[in-house]
Every structure is written in structure tokens, then in C-alpha cells.
Chain A
């Protein structure tokens, strides 16, 4: 009873829960290089040395965000074709949701252009989270030495 009373009190602060959620997701993220994903969409990846993703052959879902914010999925295309399928943010949520329901252990990776602002990346990660992704891997290019 008491708890309900508490809940009804007017909110006096910004709701930071979703941000904390995203931060938690980010904590889980491991930075990685993905030599396999050398396709299509031109994305400048952040240069950051990190470990290669262990099992890159495990048919991951890869979401690419182009410099201009356009989204691409590695679905609906031939494997040898270089360009991904361009999708809206709603289609991204739907397709990712289906896939995760059918195959809960699917690895999900995000390739975001390094010039993108942080907010855009967080927005996509929030979408993936609501689609059921437990963790999202960020793909980086190996640093040029």
C-alpha cells in the first residue's frame, strides 16, 4: 500500500532509468574488430585496438549506421553482394525482434560511423534492447599504425 502511495507522488526529477539501462548495456559491450564485415555501407569506424570477436562465423546480426544516420541490416541480400538492406528504425525493431525470438542466442553487432554523435548510437541501442537484445557488440576497425 505504501509503495503505491509513493508511486503517485509527482515526479520531480528527470527519469534517468532508460539511460542507466543503456549504460548497463554499454558495460556489457565488448569492443571488437570484425574483419569479416567489410561490406557495403561506407562507415568510418572508430579506431580502437580491441580483441577480435571470438566466433565471427556464428551468423551475427549486423546493424550498420551510415554517416548520415541511414540504417542497414545484413539481411535480404546475397552474401556476396556488398550492400546491406536499408531499413527504417521500425523495420529494424521488428526484424531484430523476430530474430531474437526465434534464436535468442544470436550475436548482435553495431557498426556505427565514427562521425556519428553519441545520441544516435544510443537511440539504436535502445531500439535493439527493446527488441530483446541482451548485449550489443560494437564493431571497430583496427587502428592504423
Chain B
């Protein structure tokens, strides 16, 4: 985990772009990320050469039009809060623009919590987090019918640990493209 953190932070600094902390990113993200770092210098070149720029990766997830890297699909929250952090808004706006351009694509927004607090309350809190993301996207012009929210509360941690770090990684909303 820590190594990956480091790697991501490095990538972030080098690229000088907005990349949300992706320590807890899902498995599907990883294959795309590893070449990103190992072929740092050459990566942007082929993308610029391809005439119609690719908008999605092999998994059908949207790419950042500026860098060609996969868009961050995980957004983190403070404890017992459902407000988006300012640094995530740019990435969410890119998701919104992708969804506006691709009205046939839909997204499942999963809301998650850390293990603290009661399970049923967390189920409602996770839904509130999902709803926050959905209302941001709909305010940016995405159709409500393209979006669905499911809250898992604290039931599906990405990190089964019990530290502040694990709790931080688990308090999240994830966008799952379908």
C-alpha cells in the first residue's frame, strides 16, 4: 500500500496534474497505472499522435483528456461527512463531461463508510455520499437516468485494517462505469 502511495505521489508531482489520492483504487485500475509510471517520458507522445484521441481505456473507463491517464473514480470523505473535497471537483467535472458526451453510458455510484459507527446508520451515510456525487453530476448536466446509487455502508471495506489510514481509504464513493 505504502509503496503504491509513494508511486502515485511521485506520478502526481511529475505530471503536475490533478490526481486524487488513489491509494485505495480498485484492481481494474492497476494495469493502466503501472505503465504510466514506468514509461513516464514516452507515454504522452503516442496519444498525441493518434488522430481521434481515445476517451476510454480497455475497461471502458473514461480517460483524462489532458493526460490520457485514467480518471480517478474514487473520492474520499471526512468522518461522518458527505461533502466532496475541493480537490475532487475537477476530476468529477471531467466525469460529468464524459457522461454528457456519452449519454449511452451509465454509472453506478457506490457509497462506503469506515467501520466506526453503527452499520445501519452507515448505510444511510454511504447513501448520502453517493447522493452528493450524483447531485454534483446532475448539476453538471448529466441525466439522472445515467446514474444509480448503492450504499454498502461499512460492509465492503477496501482495507480491512483498523487504523486511521484504513478508515480514510474506506470512506469513499466509487464510480463504476457500466
Are A and B close enough to touch in the complex, i.e. CB under 8 Å?
no
Contact surface of B with A, Cβ cutoff 8 Å: none
